[in-house]
Amino acid sequence: MMREICRTIMQRSAGCVARLVRASDGSPAVEFALAAPVLLGLLVPVVDLGMAFSQQIKVQQSAQAGAQYATTHPWTSSSATAIANAVTAASTLSSLRATPAPSQSCGCPTGTAIASATCGPTCSAGQPAGYYVTINAQAPYTPQLPYSVLGSSMTLTAQSIVRVR
């Protein structure tokens, strides 16, 4: 008798499990509920990284705008301020700064860098040492969510160096 009762319970239990496996009522909702947090966990950092890249591009374009201004205006005592104003005016980022301040120097191009030189003499390649203006731009970026790898904030920087006559 006891054996028959156990067999009946086992058959009914197996039948319930089989029905649950075959059932489709609500299973897409359960699958979505399980997958959505994972997908959001992947999507949010990607969006945050995209926003950081977008701001980095704006910082670089602002430094390039300062370099363009420097090429069309001769260097005077107020040039650093004027170039810094051109850098900050080129972007909608309110926290953008032209730091360190734009500076002028003399140098000779070496292929990948500009070697410091006195203005006037001839460089080793035969051309005269040139006047260069260095323009920097910086803006802080705070991620939307705290990431232990990145920290709470970072500074986006860009630099443009242009030869002026």
Q: Which tens digit of pLDDT belongs to each residue from 82-113?
A: 999 999 999 999 999 999 999 999 988 887 88
Report domain extents, the chain. 26-164
Instruction: Give residue 61's identity as a one-letter amino acid code.
Output: Q
In this predicted structure, what is the pLDDT of residue 25?
A: 72
**How remote is the C-alpha of 2 from its chain's centroid?**
71
pLDDT score, position 97: 95
> Counting Cβ atoms within 10 Å, is residue 118 exposed (0-12), middle (13-18) or buried (19+)?
exposed
- Quote the pLDDT of residue 89: 94
In this predicted structure, what is the pLDDT of residue 124?
80
User: What would the pLDDT profile of 34-68 be if each residue is shown by its tens digit?
Assistant: 888 888 888 888 888 888 899 999 999 999 999 99
Grouping H, G, I as helix, E, B as strand and the rest as coil, residue 86 is helix
The predicted structure's pLDDT at residue 164? 86
Give per-residue pLDDT as tens, 99-150: 999 999 998 888 788 888 888 778 887 878 888 999 999 999 988 877 766 6
| SS3 call for 49 | helix
- DSSP assignment of 101-133 equals PPEEEEEEE-SSSEEE--SSSBPTTSSBPEEEE
H or E element at residue 91? none
Give 27-42 pLDDT, tens digit per residue: 777 878 888 888 888 8
On whether the pTM is more than 0.85, the answer is no
pLDDT of residue 112: 81
pLDDT band at 156 (very low <50, low <70, confident <90, very high): very high
b/e sequence 63-90, b meaning 16+ C-beta within 10 Å? bbbbbbbbeeeebeeebbebbbebbbeb
Which residue type sits at 47?
Answer: V
Six token digits for residue 68: 């363009």
